[in-house]
Each structure stands twice: as structure tokens, then as C-alpha cells.
């Protein structure tokens, strides 16, 4: 029997009425003859509430206990979804991560899936179960502790299950009807894409697009999982949503596929660091060990044997980064005169596989921002993206201006 994976995000299961709506969609796929694995997120707002409780209790929290608390939201949704399906006379059962089991690393709050043995769920399908409702975002470590996969981890759970079970497709249901050229809430000219390449989606996700978690796209690309993003609030249609696929499956595309942004960025500068071999490793190793997600890095010109080192990280990791640096300084591993944290910045990026072979994209990008009077603080590039840090108050203006300049409202 073919297996279909369906993932419902927090807004899709925010109330009992929405859970019933989602369950009806599952019922349609069961009627087509599929065995269905449903991955659910916590009800909308629940994870933020749980995270807030943890942070209010312990700002520098024990990540193991963080996982124990924050993972509970998905358990509630899974149970309610299974009960709803049972009321529809569809044989369903809820599964927590440890029951499958979803085997992960021990990196609490950002664990990575290592294996999903299909035997337990497959055996239940053979016994007549038609739907396995799995709590997303969570797994179990080698030590037997509950782990979580990072925010948005239910997307990764869904793609991992699709790969492990050889699913015919992985459908990600959310509150938007696909992947757009940019955030429609910022730019009214944003256009829904029928298809987007894995690489483009990976960059968009890593740069702030909230549609899919970065690691879910990584997994889909690695295991060639057919991945579709669509709305749980619109009528079902086989052609609905956006297909995330191989570059070869896209006949023609714009040079730039989309504009991404992230307002939750901080710029941190270590002032007057010794400029010597190994200093970068001495700085970024403690940050990595503290779980700080460093993105953009700039080292200023050395003066009198000392330099400034600037990097960006999420705003909610600033305190953790400061502590890691102060601890490293106390141990004599690094020496600096001070730490300056600027949480009033945003990251804006353009992404497109067409940039590999097109000249002038960077020049156009920088000219657009200059014409709007927007100062660039940090720049980073790859062959298919350009990202900058700018003052946060200019973020929406930058997104709109770049979207217009690259004519992303028009199909190729």
C-alpha cells in the first residue's frame, strides 16, 4: 500500500474546528487508498507560550528540560487529531516521537534525526490502522531523553518520515497557499511560484522565509522527496500550492526567484581582538559549543596587531553569545576590549539559481538600496544569493524596492 505524508502546521490545527477540517483532508486521502502518516505541530501559539514559560523560569535554561516542556504541545495535537479521525470511523492512532521511535542526536533544542525505523508503524498499518498521527518536532536521544529539532522542526519530521517510508509525496499544509516571491504581508505584488528549485528554497528558508524549515528542505533535496506546500484553508486541488523540486524540473526561471528577510537578527562585534593565526577558531568554537547560530562574519582591517570581529546571530541568542565570549576571555582563550551588540538590524537577501550565469545582479542590488538611502552594514554572498544587514526600520522598504527592481511580480 502506498504511503502519503501530510503535515499540518500550528495555524492549521489551532482550534478543534481546524483540526476537524484537517482530518477531513486526511479522510479524502485515506479514501483514495493511501496509508497516511500525519505529522502535526502544536496548536498555534502554544509553543511560544511554552518557550516563554521556560525562559521566564530560567533565562539560561537546561536544554534537556526545555525539550521536556516545549515538546508537550505536539502531543496534545496528535491525540486530538487521532480522536477526531476515530470519530470519523477512520482507524487512527497517535504516536509520540519516542514510540516510533524517532532516533536523534543528543543536541537538545536542535537535535538531528539519525534514524526512523518503520517497523512499528508498518506493523500497525498491516493490522488495519489507516492513519498514524505523529507528534512532530520531537524524538528521543541515545540516552533516552526527549529531544526537539528546533523551531519549525515538524517540517523536518514530515520529510524524514516521507524518506523513511518511501512516501509517494509529502504535503506541507500551512496558512499560505504556496511559496511566494517575498512575504505578501510586506509586498502586495508578491507572486506565488508554481515551482521552486530545492537550492533556491533552501536559501530562502535559511535567510528568513518562514514557509519551510531549512533542514526539511535539505532532507527533501538529499532524498528526492516530492515536496508540496499548500494551504489548509483552500479547496483541495491536485495542482494547488508550490512544488519544491530539482532544478532540472523547472524549464525557465527568473534570474532572481525571491526576496527573503529576517528581522530577528543581531550584529555583534568583539572590539580590539588580537590579530593572530587561530583567533577565528578561538572565537567561533565557544560560540558553536554554546549553540549560537552564527551567520554573517566580517573581520575589519588589522591595526597595530588588533582587529574587530563582527558576526550576526539570532536576537534570542545574544545573551548566550555574550556569556560564551566572556567565559572564553576568563579562561584566557581570547582577549578583547569589549562586546557591542546591535539588535536593531535586519537581514535582506535576494536568491536565484539564475544568478550563477547572470552578470550585474550585485550591482543592481546595491544600487537599489543606495537609491533608497539605505546604508549596508554587512554583506555576504554565494553563487545564488546576496545578503546584507541593514538598519531594521528600512527592512520593508528594502524588500519592496528589490522586489520591484527585479520585476518578481512577473513570471519568466
Residue 229 lies in a domain: no
Residue 91 lies in a domain: yes
Residue 146 lies in a domain: yes
Residue 252 lies in a domain: no
Instruction: Render pLDDT for 57-113 as a digit per residue (tens, 0 to 9).
Output: 998 899 999 999 999 999 999 999 999 999 999 999 999 999 999 999 999 999 999
- The answer on pLDDT for 238 being more than 70 is no
Rounded Cα distance between 154 and 41, Å, is 6
Rounded Cα distance between 130 and 90, Å, is 7
User: What pTM does this model have?
Assistant: 0.77
- What would the DSSP string read from start to end of 118-154? -HHHHHHHHTT--EEEEETTEEE-TTS-EEE--TTHH
Residues annotated in the binding site for substrate, as ranges? 47, 74
- The answer on pLDDT for 233 being more than 90 is no
Residue 79 lies in a domain: yes
Residue ranges making up the domain that contains 93: 3-175
As a whole number, the mean pLDDT across the chain is 92
- Identify the CATH number of the domain in which residue 140 sits: 3.40.1160.10
Per-residue model confidence (pLDDT) at position 234: 78
The SS3 of residue 283 is: helix
Per-residue model confidence (pLDDT) at position 252: 62
Percent of the chain with pLDDT over 70: 97
Question: Which of 182, 348, 145 has its CA nearest to residue 257?
Answer: 182
- Identify the residue with better confidence: 359 or 144: 144
Per-residue model confidence (pLDDT) at position 249: 74
Q: Categorize the per-residue pLDDT at 241 as very low, low, confident or very high, splitting at 50, 70 and 90.
A: confident
Residues annotated in the binding site, as ranges? 7-10, 47, 74, 174-175, 180, 185, 210-211
Residue 380 bridge partners (DSSP):
387
Per-residue model confidence (pLDDT) at position 17: 97
Under 8 Å between Cβ of 92 and 173: no
Give the Å distances, CA to CA, from 54 to 12, 62, 63, 144: 25, 9, 10, 21
Per-residue model confidence (pLDDT) at position 18: 96
Alpha carbon 243 to its chain's center: 17
Per-residue model confidence (pLDDT) at position 275: 86
Per-residue model confidence (pLDDT) at position 85: 98
Grid coordinates of 245? 523540486
- The answer on pLDDT for 217 being more than 70 is yes
Per-residue model confidence (pLDDT) at position 163: 96
Percent of the chain with pLDDT over 90: 74
Residue 289 lies in a domain: no
Question: Which of 177, 191, 333 has its CA nearest to residue 257?
Answer: 191
Q: Categorize the per-residue pLDDT at 300 as very low, low, confident or very high, splitting at 50, 70 and 90.
A: confident
Grid coordinates of 51? 518557550
Mean pLDDT of the 117-141 span: 97
Grid coordinates of 411? 513570471
Residues annotated in the binding site for ATP, as ranges? 7-10, 174-175, 180, 185, 210-211
- The answer on pLDDT for 351 being more than 80 is yes
Instruction: Render pLDDT for 139-198 as a digit per residue (tens, 0 to 9).
Output: 999 999 999 998 889 999 999 999 999 999 999 998 888 889 998 889 999 998 888 988
Per-residue model confidence (pLDDT) at position 342: 95
Residue 402 lies in a domain: no
Per-residue model confidence (pLDDT) at position 410: 86
Mean pLDDT of the 18-40 span: 96
Residue 223 CA neighbour count, 13 Å, CB half: 23
Give the Å distances, CA to CA, from 323 to 62, 246, 288, 337: 15, 42, 12, 15
Q: Categorize the per-residue pLDDT at 203 as very low, low, confident or very high, splitting at 50, 70 and 90.
A: confident
Q: Categorize the per-residue pLDDT at 31 as very low, low, confident or very high, splitting at 50, 70 and 90.
A: very high
Q: Categorize the per-residue pLDDT at 340 as very low, low, confident or very high, splitting at 50, 70 and 90.
A: very high
Under 8 Å between Cβ of 209 and 351: no
Q: Categorize the per-residue pLDDT at 248 as very low, low, confident or very high, splitting at 50, 70 and 90.
A: confident
Count of other CB atoms within 10 angstroms of residue 158:
34
Residue 277 CA neighbour count, 13 Å, CB half: 0
- The answer on pLDDT for 208 being more than 80 is no
Residue 71 lies in a domain: yes
Q: Categorize the per-residue pLDDT at 359 as very low, low, confident or very high, splitting at 50, 70 and 90.
A: confident
Number of structural domains (the chain) is: 1
Amino acid at each position: 500500500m502506498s504511503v502519503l505524508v501530510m503535515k499540518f502546521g500550528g495555524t492549521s490545527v489551532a482550534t478543534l474546528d481546524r483540526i476537524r477540517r484537517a482530518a477531513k483532508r486526511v479522510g479524502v486521502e485515506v479514501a483514495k487508498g493511501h496509508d497516511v502518516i500525519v505529522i502535526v505541530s502544536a496548536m498555534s501559539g502554544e509553543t511560544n507560550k511554552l518557550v516563554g514559560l521556560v525562559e521566564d523560569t530560567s533565562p539560561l535554561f537546561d536544554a534537556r528540560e526545555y525539550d521536556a516542556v516545549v515538546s508537550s504541545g505536539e502531543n496534545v495535537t496528535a491525540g486530538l487529531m487521532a480522536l477526531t479521525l476515530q470519530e470519523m470511523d477512520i482507524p487512527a492512532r497517535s504516536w509520540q516521537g519516542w514510540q516510533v521511535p524517532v532516533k536523534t542526536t543528543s543536541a537538545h533544542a536542535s537535535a538531528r534525526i539519525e534514524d526512523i525505523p518503520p517497523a512499528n508503524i508498518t506493523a500497525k498499518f498491516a493490522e488495519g490502522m489507516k492513519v498514524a498521527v505523529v507528534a512532530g518536532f520531537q524524538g528521543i536521544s541515545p540516552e533516552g531523553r526527549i529531544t526537539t529539532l528546533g523551531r519549525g522542526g515538524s517540517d523536518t519530521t514530515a520529510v524524514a518520515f516521507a524518506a523513511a517510508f518511501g512516501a509517494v509525496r509529502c504535503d506541507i499544509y500551512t496558512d499560505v497557499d504556496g511559496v511566494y516571491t517575498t512575504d505578501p504581508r510586506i509586498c502586495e505584488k508578491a507572486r506565488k511560484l508554481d515551482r521552486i528549485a530545492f537550492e533556491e528554497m533552501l536559501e530562502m528558508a535559511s535567510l528568513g522565509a518562514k514557509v519551510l524549515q531549512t533542514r526539511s528542505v535539505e532532507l527533501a533535496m538529499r532524498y528526492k522527496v516530492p515536496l508540496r506546500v499548500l494551504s489548509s484553508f483552500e479547496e483541495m486541488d491536485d495542482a494547488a500550492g508550490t512544488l519544491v523540486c530539482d532544478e532540472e524540473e523547472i524549464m525557465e526561471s527568473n534570474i532572481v526567484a525571491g526576496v527573503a528577510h529576517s528581522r530577528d537578527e543581531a550584529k555583534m562585534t568583539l572590539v580590539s581582538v588580537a590579530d593572530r593565526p587561530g583567533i577565528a577558531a578561538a572565537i567561533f568554537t565557544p560560540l558553536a559549543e554554546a549553540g549560537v547560530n552564527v551567520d554573517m562574519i566580517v573581520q575589519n582591517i588589522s591595526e597595530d596587531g588588533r582587529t574587530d570581529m563582527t558576526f550576526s546571530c539570532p536576537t534570542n541568542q545574544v545573551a548566550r553569545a555574550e556569556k560564551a565570549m566572556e567565559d572564553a576571555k576568563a579562561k584566557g582563550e581570547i582577549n578583547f576590549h569589549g562586546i557591542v551588540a546591535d539588535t536593531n538590524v535586519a537581514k535582506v537577501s535576494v536568491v536565484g539559481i539564475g544568478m550563477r550565469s547572470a552578470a550585474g545582479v550585485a550591482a543592481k542590488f546595491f544600487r537599489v538600496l543606495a537609491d533608497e538611502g539605505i546604508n549596508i552594514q554587512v554583506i555576504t554572498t554565494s553563487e545564488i544569493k546576496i545578503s546584507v544587514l541593514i538598519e531594521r526600520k528600512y527592512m520593508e522598504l528594502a524588500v519592496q524596492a528589490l522586489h520591484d527592481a527585479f520585476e518578481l511580480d512577473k513570471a519568466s
